[in-house]
Every structure is written in structure tokens, then in C-alpha cells.
A and B are shown apart, each in its own frame.
Chain A
Amino acid sequence: MDNMIVVRDFVKKYGDFTAVDHVSFEVERGSIFAFLGPNGAGKSTTINTLCTIFEKTSGTLLIDGKDLSRDKDAVRSVIGVVFQESTLDSKMTVEENLTMHGHFYGLPKSLINERIRFVLEIVDLSEWRKAMVTSLSGGMKRRVEIARSLLHQPKMLFLDEPTTGLDPQTRANIWEYIARLQKEQQLTIFLTTHYMEEAEISDKVAVMDHGRIIAFDTPRALKQRYTKDKAQLISSDGPALEAALRQHDLAFEGYGGHYAVDLGAADLPRFLEVISEHRPCIHELEINKGTLNDVFLEITGKDIRG
């Protein structure tokens, strides 16, 4: 039993509308799993069902070997959740929020204090223990929520867009905590995000659209399958370079000296040949690796969703 999460034929309907349509996947224990998809793809429905807030319509969902519809409380005590929107008790202090959480999960009173110190240290908020939640910045609130979700030492952590609306520094910071946590505590992490580069830290990525999983693999494999590297170059002798690219059967765009060349895995040797032949007239060369963002757009298309 190496899987932390097992989902089989999961269906969730709202009236006639099918939000999640026969989805199956597994999440390995101790791994980071990223769940991507455009708005309305069924991600939130899936994560909310896994967190025991929503009821499934049909299918089997297991977390840590426990059935979600039969053993809700057992599941609840092994998971930690950071929701998309803040779920802090804003009129209370950081400490009161954490203490309350400790009570909810039945931690012994003597242990709560010690745990609070520990989790606040993880997110660097030890000095803010007595502060009111309303006095914290957006990033700090997120960190408090992460700290809170760790207080009862869950085996499984759900992060639903944990960095939405935060500045780049705070985002980087939060991912650093998450990566460290995963390593130190052997946590299994299930995350959703809109920032594709953030999904790079995960071991497996699932892309969901229209209620189905349409791609499922490691970030590396997905990039290999769905993206091409692109070379941007500037040449002082445009016509000669164009001719050479055509001759070597390399697809490109551009004119008048500026070109973008698609590089499939097999194209590289020929491309290098062109470069070495034309080296004197090439001023700039930049090779961009395909990103998960490209993968995402490639799979889900570019239409704007609601």
C-alpha cells in the first residue's frame, strides 16, 4: 500500500452538470502531486471532495487506506488543508487560531504549546505569535495557515492555490517552506496552482480539463512530450541563414535577421551545424527550454475560461 491517495472512477455532479467525470488517479506516499487545470476544470471540486467537505456522487476515494465516505473522521485527522481563500479566524490572534486547531484535533493541552512554537518557527513567524490575524500581511496570513495545517502533524497536506495573490518574494518563500517540509517530514503533498513554474517541484503532474484528467506524468516527461525547445537568433546575413535552415529542414519563423527556430529532440545536431557554418554573422543566440506553461497551453488550448 504505497499510495497515499487512491481515486477510482470519481464522479461529482451538480444537478445535470458533471463537474468531475470518471476520474481515476493515485498519489504516491511521500511525493508532491500537482493538480493543474483552467478555471472550472473540476480541480476545486476534486480537492474539496478529497478534503471531506463535498460529497462524491459516485466512485471510490481512499486516503491513507481509509474510505472517504465511510471513515470521514479518520481521514480528517490525517490531513492538513490550506484552502484557496483564507480560513483563519480573523478576529483572533495567531496563537488563538493555532490553539483552537489543536483542540479540534484533540492534541493534549501540554503538547499544543510546544507544537505551536515548532510550526511558527518553520514559517518564521515566532515573533508574531500574539499578533491579531487582521494585523498580518497577506503573505504572513498564508504562512500562518500553513503553520496551522501542520500543527497536528498530518500525513497528507492539501494546498489549494497556496500562493495566489502573493508577491514573487513571498511565493518563492512559501515554496521553499513547502519543499523543506516535504523533505523533512516525509509529507505527501497535493497542490493546485495557476503558476505553472510552481508545479515544477512536483513529482507528478495531472492536468485536468472539463472534468477529466487529460495528462498525467512527471513534469519532465510532459515537457518532452508536449513542448519543443526554441532557439532565438539574430543574424547579420538573413538570407544566407534562412537558406541554410531550409536546407537542413529546420522549421523557423521570422525574417530580416531575427529568427525563432523550433528544436525537436532530433533537430539539435543539424541546428548546431547551421550555427557553426554561420558563426561569423550570428550576433545573438538564446535557447529556451519548453516550460510546464507551454505544456498547459498546448493541452488545454488558449481559450479564456470563466
Chain B
Amino acid sequence: MRIVGALWLRNIKLFARNRVQLVLLLIMPFFYLYLLSTIFQSTAVESPINYVLAGIVIIVVFQTSLNIATSTIEDIVSGYMKEVLVSPVKRMQIAAGQMLSSTTIASLQGVLILIIGYFIGMRYTSVLTPLAILGFMIMVGLVFSAFGLFLAAAVKNSQTFQIVSVAITTPITFLCGVYVPLSLLPEGLRYVALFNPMTYATAFFRALSLEKMSLPADELIAEQLAFKVSGFVITPQISILIVFSFGVLFLLLSTLAFSKVDFSRINRTPGSKDIFQQ
């Protein structure tokens, strides 16, 4: 536990020391808020600012928690991972430290945006809502940092990773209803979006933070907080179950992949050098 804590603290410090990143991460959401609330005014959504803000919060949590993969790859490439791997630290502990720190940072960012959201008029009627929101942000953070760690352990090479990461995150980001309303997507992509775990994370989070969990099904569907697939309605309750199962799956996969990685096969240096020439 102490090692997990130490790794956690290290990653938090690393994050706090990167000032540019820190500022950008706080500014960007508001740029999107401004941009998107105008787009969403054209849809059947009431109070678009709140609707969009909720989406942005959850997508920020998603992106930040996925960043863990990048930082793990960086640690591997910089050589630091070698120091960790020759020590008696368990791989599970490394994985846990990495995931917990990115979840912390991701949730913190979500909270900051929500605080600012308060000043632009976001209100909750129940005191339980903010707590549930925080809980769900932590869950989404864990889910996608597990996913990110799995990617890092599966790819290992920093150049390939950049390509893979863009190829995977772009569709997840744009086909979840945060940046582009799902109703505006072409039919085919709307179908693809149903295979995107972030679609359900977003729908659940919106329903939760707009306190619309108990709305009748057709109203939820109209606001894209629920989805109808050939007669079957995916309610927010089913959505959170989908996100949860996805998370458990990747938590298992990532710890398995991370503890099995044969680091002798990692191409650490960009270019043509192989491990014999390190």
C-alpha cells in the first residue's frame, strides 16, 4: 500500500509541476463549452449549457484518465520503468499506483469544472447528487485508466502508441454525444456509437447531473439520455452497468497484460537500434 501511495504521489507531483498542461487543461473545457452550447441549442435539449457542461466534465475525466497510458509509455521510454522493475515492487502495485493517480487527477479536473459550472448557473436539488457525481467520475476515471494501461502494456512502443492512441480515442471522443449530438450523426455512425462505452458513460452522467434519472423513457430518449435499440430501451441504469462491466473487463486485462509484459522485447529507442545495442 505504501508503494502504491508513493507512486501515486509521484504522479500527482509530476502533474502539478507541468504548469502549461495544468493551465491548458483548465482552459480548454470552457472553449468547448462556449462552442458546443451553441451547437446543442439546435437540438431538442432543454438548458443546453448544463447539458453540454455535464458532457464536457465526463469527457475530460475520460481523456485525463486515458493520459495515464501516455505517462506510462513515457516512463518506459525514459528508462525509469527499468528502475522500478528491478526493485522488489510488484507489477500489480505499479499498475494500481498509475491508475489511482490518473483517476485522482481526472476527478479533480471534473470537480474544478463543476465548481465553475456552479457559477454559471448549475444547481442541484438534492445534496446526494454532487456525491453521486463524484462517485461516478471516480468510477469512469478508474475504468478508462485501466483501459489506457492496457493499451500501454499492449503497445509498449512510443511511436506506435501515438498512432494507436489517436486511432482509438478519436472515435470514442467524437461518437459519444459530447461534441456532436448523436441525433446529428449519420445513421451508420449512430449505430457505431452504441458500441462506444463512453456513450453510456456520458448518458448516465448527464442523467445524473441534470437529475433526470427518473424521467419517463420517451423523454430520456428525446434528450439522448437513453437509447432505443430495436425496441429495447437502454436506460441510464443499464448504461452504468455497461460502463461497469467494461471497466471490470479492462481492469482484469490491464493488470494481466501489465504483469506479463516481457520488457526484453521493448524497443526503447526510436530508430533502428535493437536491444542488443542498447
Contact = CB atoms under 8 A, between A and B. Distances in A.
Nearest to A76: B88
A76 B87 contact: yes
A178 B92 CA distance: 34
A103 B82 contact: no
B132 interface: no
B89 interface: yes
Given A40-B276, A45-B276, A81 B86 contact: yes
B79 A86 contact: yes
Contacts of A44: 275-276, 278
Contacts of A89: 10, 80, 83
B191 interface: no
B87 A91 contact: no
B13 interface: yes
A85 B78 CA distance: 9
A225 to B, nearest CB: 28
B264 A101 contact: no
B27 interface: no
A103 B2 contact: yes
A103 B276 CA distance: 31
Interface in A139-181: 148
Given A39-B276, A84-B278, A103-B2, A53 B10 contact: no
A44 B89 CA distance: 22
A297 B158 CA distance: 38
A39 B264 contact: no
Contacts of A76: 86-88
Does more than half of chain A's interface fall in helix, strand or loop, or is it mixed? loop
Given A73-B88, A106-B88, A55 B80 contact: no
B86 A53 contact: yes
Contacts of B83: 81, 83, 87-89, 101, 148
B87 A53 contact: no
A77 B86 CA distance: 9
Interface residues of A, number: 38
B85 interface: yes
B85 A92 contact: no
Nearest to A91: B14
Given A48-B264, A53-B264, A79 B276 contact: no
Interface in B1-17: 2-3, 6, 10, 13-14, 17
Contacts of B79: 83, 85-87
A40 B274 CA distance: 10
B14 to A, nearest CB: 6
A81 B85 CA distance: 11
B263 interface: yes
Interface in A257-274: none
A79 B275 CA distance: 22
A187 interface: no
Contacts of B89: 104
Contacts of B264: 14, 48, 53-55
A51 interface: yes
A148 B86 CA distance: 13
Nearest to A49: B264
B87 A101 contact: yes
Contact of A85 (B14, B86, B88, B278): B278
Contact of B87 (A55, A84, A105): A105
Contacts of B13: 92, 96
A84 B10 CA distance: 24
A306 interface: yes
A136 interface: no
B262 interface: yes
A3 interface: no
A182 interface: no
A91 B17 contact: yes
Interface of B: 2-3, 6, 10, 13-14, 17, 78-80, 82-89, 262-264, 275-278
Given A42-B276, A101-B87, 5 more contacts: A79-B86, A83-B83, A85-B278, A88-B83, A104-B87
